[in-house]
Amino acid sequence: MSENRIRRVAIKRTTSAGQIDIRAEAEVTGSEGALQVVRSSGVQGIPSGADAVNLQEMEDTQLAELRKRLYAAGYSKRAIATAVKDVVRVESRGH
């Protein structure tokens, strides 16, 4: 899998209708150079009043799941660790 690369890892937090959804995503390039997204299963319907510690734990859990999915897809632990060092946090409002 030498041609494949993990380009970006992000934790996405979406707030909508008083609830928060959390998911981890990685943008990867496939062997033919196509951009693909690998995602964790996500946690949905968290009350918007949840405390920061619980939200951080949920983000960490999603990131751990994403690491496992990337490893199962053939990426090395070293490549995953390097990509996760630069994790981007994205917050958005849903419709």
Q: Tell me, letter by letter, the H, E, C secondary structure of 32-69.
A: CCCEEEEECCCEEEEECCCCHHHHHHHHHHHHHHHHHH
Per-residue tokens: 87: 């994790």
DSSP symbol at 6: E
pTM listed for this prediction: 0.89
What is the full per-residue pLDDT of the chain (95 aa) written as tens digits?
446 899 999 999 999 989 999 999 999 987 777 889 999 999 999 998 899 999 999 999 999 999 999 999 999 999 999 999 999 999 999 76
Domains of the chain by residue range: 5-93
> Rounded to whole angstroms, how far apart are CA atoms 70 and 72?
5
